[in-house]
């Protein structure tokens, strides 16, 4: 199987060009053709000599996806099912901003499946297959824009998988996307979400990327969090708090806390008080996300129920009264199993 050229950083592409006795500027020509002109065939890059196009053809492939399907929600959300070269599949979700026209966020995956097995998430029920390559991360963005003819406003690593478990490839992809020679997105338009992998939060802070960080919190006590998210048996909320303070000191970027609302489990008055205290450690905001049923995944027993609008609004107002910077996340794409926690290879409608 040929290598994927979009696995190469700009510097690695330069080295390949020089190793093949080509002038250094060829790397920038190829880079811009791939990411600005969206070339999907080396033969179409007529700015470089034919013999060098032949060399590229012999070593590399451009696209990491062999097929795709789309599902369209009544609210404008689009879910993509991408097939990889080894037959594995991943999902991405394009979400239009209902407040601002012509603004689109793409929720991208970083792994095939997930190792974490969070009890409220469909992806975790699939198990873990492998990390995505750099090209497979980037192509989610490029394919989504090509298929829909829209320009993305934001990129969020909140799809399938734990991004910090594939941090090297995630960082490499972001550096390519934000490279000033193509500047597909600004780093400030990119968010990495994590359950709270302490070492990796600090590594990301030290990377110099200055992308936004979102913490999948979902509980205000270690005991409840461990029940909801088995991973958290190995990390405490205190440790997460220390890590986000480190991240904020390094980046000066506000932290986002994601909080899936599970009625009767994490919506008590005590949760309101603890959440308010925790989020004031650094400048931050809280996104309240209604739990979305994952009963469409075969072989699982659903133990949670979706909150009512009254329950959501009550929790929201209590946090507002505690001076928390809080927002309600919409359930975009729920009718096509594309809402938060529902990505699972389009099992229902594939």
> Which active-site residues does the annotation give?
91, 340
82 - beta bridge partners? Answer: 68, 90
H/E segment holding residue 59: helix 50-59
Phi, psi (rounded to 5 degrees) for 332 = -60, 130
Residues 6 or more apart whose CB falls under 8 angstroms from that of 265 comprise: 219, 224, 228, 304
155 - beta bridge partners? Answer: 106, 190
CA–CA distance, 273 with 276 (Å, rounded to integer): 5
CB neighbours (10 Å) of residue 259? 24
- Tokens describing residue 302: 């659903």
Which string of b and e fits 317-329 if b means at least 16 CB within 10 Å?
ebbeeeebebebb
CB neighbours (10 Å) of residue 349? 11
H/E segment holding residue 81: strand 78-84
CA–CA distance, 164 with 161 (Å, rounded to integer): 9
H/E segment holding residue 215: strand 212-216
């Amino acid at each position: 199987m040929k290598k994927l050229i979009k696995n190469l950083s700009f510097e690695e592409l330069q080295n390949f060009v020089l190793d093949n006795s080509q002038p250094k500027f060829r790397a920038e020509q190829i880079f811009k053709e791939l990411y600005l002109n969206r070339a999907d065939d080396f033969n179409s890059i007529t700015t470089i000599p034919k013999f060098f196009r032949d060399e590229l053809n012999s070593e590399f492939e451009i696209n990491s996806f062999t097929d795709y399907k789309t599902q369209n929600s009544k609210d404008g959300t689009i879910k993509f099912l991408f097939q990889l070269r080894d037959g594995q599949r991943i999902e991405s979700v394009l979400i239009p901003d209902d407040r601002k026209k012509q603004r689109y966020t793409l929720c991208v995956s970083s792994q095939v499946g997930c190792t974490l097995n969070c009890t409220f998430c469909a992806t975790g029920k699939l198990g873990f297959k492998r990390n995505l390559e750099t090209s497979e991360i980037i192509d989610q963005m490029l394919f989504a824009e090509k298929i829909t003819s829209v320009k993305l406003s934001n990129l969020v690593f909140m799809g399938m998988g734990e991004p910090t478990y594939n941090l090297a490839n995630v960082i490499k992809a972001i550096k390519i996307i934000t490279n000033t020679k193509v500047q597909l997105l600004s780093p400030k338009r990119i968010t990495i979400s994590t359950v709270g992998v302490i070492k990796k939060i600090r590594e990301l802070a030290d990377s110099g990327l200055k992308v936004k960080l979102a913490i999948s919190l979902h509980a205000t006590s270690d005991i409840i969090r461990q029940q909801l998210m088995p991973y958290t048996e190995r990390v405490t909320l205190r440790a997460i708090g220390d890590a986000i303070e480190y991240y904020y000191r390094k980046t000066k970027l506000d932290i986002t806390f994601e909080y899936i609302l599970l009625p009767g489990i994490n919506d008590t008055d005590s949760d309101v008080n603890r959440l308010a205290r925790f989020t004031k450690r650094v400048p931050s905001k809280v996104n309240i996300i209604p739990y979305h049923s994952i009963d469409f995944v075969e072989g699982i027993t659903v133990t949670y129920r979706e909150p009512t609008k009254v329950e959501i609004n009550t929790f929201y107002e209590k946090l507002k009264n505690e001076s928390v910077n809080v927002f309600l996340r919409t359930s975009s794409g729920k009718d096509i199993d594309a809402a938060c926690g529902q990505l699972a290879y389009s099992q229902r409608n594939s």
